Amino acid sequence: MATSLITYRECLKQAIREALQGDERVFLMGEDVGHYGGAFAVSKGLLQEFGPERIMDTPLSEAGFTGAGIGAALGGMRPIVEIMTINFSLLALDQIANNAATLLHMSGGQLNVPLVIRMSAGIGRQLAAQHSHSWEPLFAHLPGLRVLSVGTHEDARYMLAPALLDPDPVIIFEYTSMLNLEQELQPVEGGVDISKAKIRREGKDISIITYGTGVYKALEAAAELAAAGIEAEVVDLRVLRPLDDETILASVTKTSRAIIVEDASRSVSVSSEVSARITENCFYDLDAPVQRLCGAEVPIPYPKHLEDAAVPQPAQIVSAIKKLLQHA
């Protein structure tokens, strides 16, 4: 099948355009998504193509327009709510946690909320402590949500379609630092499976379990390790809630070693949960303790060299794995 070089940003835009073309119930709403073309130019041109009833600029009120999205979903629409950056999502957390995530349960199964909320997340581009956050664990903690992490161009292009088919609320984390990154994109027939993690590289010596911006870092580290004779398997979690235990545990059982990489800080993190599940379910298959390589426990600094030092980098992944394997 043919491949093409494409940016992460363009993958996101193509996914939204395809959703709008395929279902008249789908519409995009959020701050600056229309006339401005999106804070990160993801929706640029869509207002002209689909009109103001499908591409809706909203007031600067995350609680207000997220609540409107929930109401539209309850009314039979398929809204895509864009929260500009993850730090602003805290302003909508009441609507997300106390309404979207709970209505199905509290209505005795009568009220589904088929809502997709997209938000930019992650560390990078020198956005400092105001806008650089890897708060995926906050949302992965909430029952009633499906929480997805877009760590590759493939998922940027194909994850939205199945999310819109889900009868319940879906949170999709996209990564600002990856917007201009170009990769070859292989067409995926039938979309991607948003219930499963994915093995991005096969290996036999250790499992690198990661998500989001950690995926390409892990693949880069795995390529370097391969040159040293170490075959690392890269597991892209993709789905942070509910976690795909089957894929995680099968990989660790095969390799007998695991390191979990994420930009979020170690305390009460996705890596904490994954580590616990590995230890609970396949302890006797391990040849070494589970390792975690996580972000620093600090508000993210502005200077580039300190920003880079605050989150795991490929060289650190390589070093940690060589140490774990006691490899020179």
- Give Dmax (Cα) for the chain: 61
CA distance 128 to 114: 33
- CA neighbor of 169 nearest in space, from 243, 86, 94, 81: 81
Supply the angle between the helices 214-227 and 314-324 in degrees, to the nearest 10.
Answer: 50
Contact 173/148 with Cβ under 8 angstroms?
yes
Would you list the domain boundaries of the chain? 4-185, 198-324
pTM summary value:
0.95
Rounded Cα–Cα distance for residues 170 and 145 (Å): 6
Strand order across the 170-175 sheet: 55-57, 26-30, 78-85, 116-121, 170-175, 146-149, 239-241
Residues 6+ positions from 248 with CB-CB distance below 8 Å: 197, 207, 209, 235, 237, 274, 277, 278
Strand partners, 210: 236, 261
Coil, helix or strand at residue 262? strand
Determine the topology of domain 198-324 in CATH.
Answer: Rossmann fold (3.40.50)
Query: What sign does the CA torsion over 9, 16, 136, 234 have?
Result: negative
Domain pair 4-185 / 198-324, same fold: yes
Q: Any idea which residues carry the catalytic annotation?
A: 62, 131
C-alpha pair distances (Å), 181 with each of 120, 210, 219, 247, 259: 15, 19, 15, 27, 25
Q: Parallel, antiparallel, or unpaired: how do β-strands 146-149 and 239-241 relate?
A: antiparallel
Rounded Cα distance between 241 and 243, Å, is 5
Give the per-residue pLDDT at 147.
98
Using the CB atoms, write b or e for 120-130: b if 16+ within 10 Å: bbbbbbebeee
- The residues, any chain, with a CB within 8 Å of residue 143's CB and separated by 6 or more, are 101
So what's the pLDDT on residue 2?
Answer: 58
Q: What is the pLDDT along the chain (328 residues), one digit of tens a residue?
A: 556 789 999 999 999 999 999 999 999 999 999 999 999 999 999 999 999 999 999 999 999 999 999 999 999 999 999 999 999 999 999 999 999 999 999 999 999 999 999 999 988 777 778 788 999 999 999 999 999 999 999 999 999 999 999 999 999 999 999 999 999 998 888 789 999 999 999 999 999 999 999 999 999 999 999 999 999 999 999 999 999 999 999 999 999 999 999 999 999 999 999 999 999 999 999 999 999 999 999 988 888 899 888 899 999 999 999 999 986 4
- Mark 223-262 as b/e (b = at least 16 C-beta within 10 Å): ebbeeeebebbbbbbbbbbebbeebbbbbbeebebbbbbb
Place of tokens 């020179």: 328
- 4-185 belongs to CATH 3.40.50.970: yes
The residue count of the chain comes to 328
Q: Mark residue 256 as left, alpha or beta (left: phi above 0; alpha: psi -120 to 50; beta: remaining).
A: left
